[in-house]
Amino acid sequence: MFLALKEMRKEKLRYSLIIAMIVLISYLIFILTSLALGLAQQNTDAINSWGMQSIIMNKDADISLSQSLIKKSQAPSTLPKSQAYIAQAPIVAKKSGHDQVSGTFIGLDNDQFVAKKITLTSGHLAKSRYQLVVDDAFKESGYKLGDTFKLNGNAHAYTIVGFTHNAKMSVAPVAYGRLSAWATLKNVPTTMIASAIVSTKTAPKAGNSALHTYDKDTFVQKLPGYSAQNMTFEMMIGFLLVISLIVIAVFLYILTMQKQQNYAVLRAQGIPGSVLVKSTLSQAFLMVISGLVIGVILTVVTAMAMPSAVPMAFDVPILGAVALALVVIAMLGAVIPVRSILKVDPVSVIGG
């Protein structure tokens, strides 16, 4: 560490430039990770809030909630406490003087567990067919408690009776209402009872040959665009980690090459190779930690400056794991010049 610190202190500009590269890479990785997390959360916030473990859907719906329909005749006469109907329909809220809001209607039975899991930030649950509890995103479009508006050009007006936070599904804000409103909004016959049945149990029996039970992860992965979006971000983060490996390895290799003569003298003087290796690894560690700290500060500042419409989320364990991956990769990058340190020939400094 002695050599590492002394060299970095003397060669401030050189090491600052390398740290700047690490800052930029880590900053980009953190921003992308936060965006990936934010988008993933906005896909699944509502689903996560329900506390479900599995879902029973029409087996021909390709695990798509918007395609699934359950007939009254296919559903059991009464659901156990661990199960609840959910009825999904796409909606467009339209009120004069306000922005249009595209969202997802989720019809619920207030006596079942999903409705009981909804945390209200204001108001109360829908008590009648034309009442809604909507996500806070509606507020950003100018809607407030007591507002009435039409959905999907439907003749009836709906009233906001409550707001809830982080109720989003496939990035669209959710409007919770009664099951009885769903058939009209979805424009399906009244023989249909809901889109799906969610359960707090891991593998409840579907109870009908037309239905099938899927676990939560399978359901989430099949949300429109969810897997493709996550894979895109994972690829970008993965490539950035590989780029950081190359950048750190190349810079340290160049620095090591420039110091070959010094290393040769030190080896001739009996300084063990392990001391020089530790010095290089320490430099890599110090540079990556410095870069990460500055990268984190920049990310936090950026997140604070971003408008709330930008979906950024911070999950300390995940961001910590990304930072750890960057440290590991930097140390792997430092191993490449280490080989040349160990192979340095002290004889090269003796003689003209």
The least distance separating other proteins from the CB of residue 345, rounded to whole angstroms, comes to 8
The least distance separating other proteins from the CB of residue 309, rounded to whole angstroms, comes to 49
The least distance separating other proteins from the CB of residue 328, rounded to whole angstroms, comes to 27
> 231 or 350: whose CB is closer to other proteins?
350
Which parts of 268-327 interact with other proteins (CB under 8 A)? 268-272, 275
The least distance separating other proteins from the CB of residue 252, rounded to whole angstroms, comes to 15
Task: Give, as one character, the DSSP assignment of residue 346.
Answer: G
The least distance separating other proteins from the CB of residue 321, rounded to whole angstroms, comes to 35
Residue among 300, 224, 212 at smallest CA distance from 44: 224
- Part of the chain binding other proteins (CB under 8 A), chosen from 9-17, 68-76, 95-103, 159-167: 9-17
Count of beta carbons in the 10 Å neighbourhood of residue 248: 27
How far, CA to CA in Å, does 180 sit from each of 10, 103, 183? 74, 18, 7
Residue among 44, 42, 75, 43 at smallest CA distance from 57: 75
- Part of the chain binding other proteins (CB under 8 A), chosen from 78-86, 95-103, 227-235, 344-352: 344-352
Q: If binding is defined by CB under 8 A, does position 342 make contact with other proteins?
A: no
For other proteins, the binding residue among 247, 265, 277, 303 (CB under 8 A) is 265
Cα separation, 147 vs 149, whole angstroms: 7
The least distance separating other proteins from the CB of residue 263, rounded to whole angstroms, comes to 10
Intra-chain end-to-end CA distance of the chain, in Å: 32
Q: If binding is defined by CB under 8 A, does position 10 make contact with other proteins?
A: yes
> 9 or 81: whose CB is closer to other proteins?
9
The least distance separating other proteins from the CB of residue 344, rounded to whole angstroms, comes to 12
Residue among 239, 244, 253 at smallest CA distance from 335: 253
For other proteins, the binding residue among 115, 266, 287, 329 (CB under 8 A) is 266
The least distance separating other proteins from the CB of residue 279, rounded to whole angstroms, comes to 10
Cα separation, 189 vs 55, whole angstroms: 22
Beta strand pairing call for 148-151 and 157-164: antiparallel
Q: If binding is defined by CB under 8 A, does position 261 make contact with other proteins?
A: yes
Tell me if 14 sits within 8 A of 252, measured CB to CB: no
> 153 or 352: whose CB is closer to other proteins?
352
Cα separation, 201 vs 148, whole angstroms: 37
Percent of the chain as helix, strand, coil, to the nearest 5: 50, 20, 30
> 182 or 251: whose CB is closer to other proteins?
251
Q: If binding is defined by CB under 8 A, does position 3 make contact with other proteins?
A: yes
User: DSSP secondary structure string, 169-231?
Assistant: ETTEEEEEEEHHHHHHHHT--TTEEESEEEESSSS----STTEEEEEHHHHHHTSTTHHHHHH
**Residues engaged in binding other proteins (CB under 8 A):** 2-3, 6-7, 9-11, 261-262, 264-272, 275, 346-347, 349-352
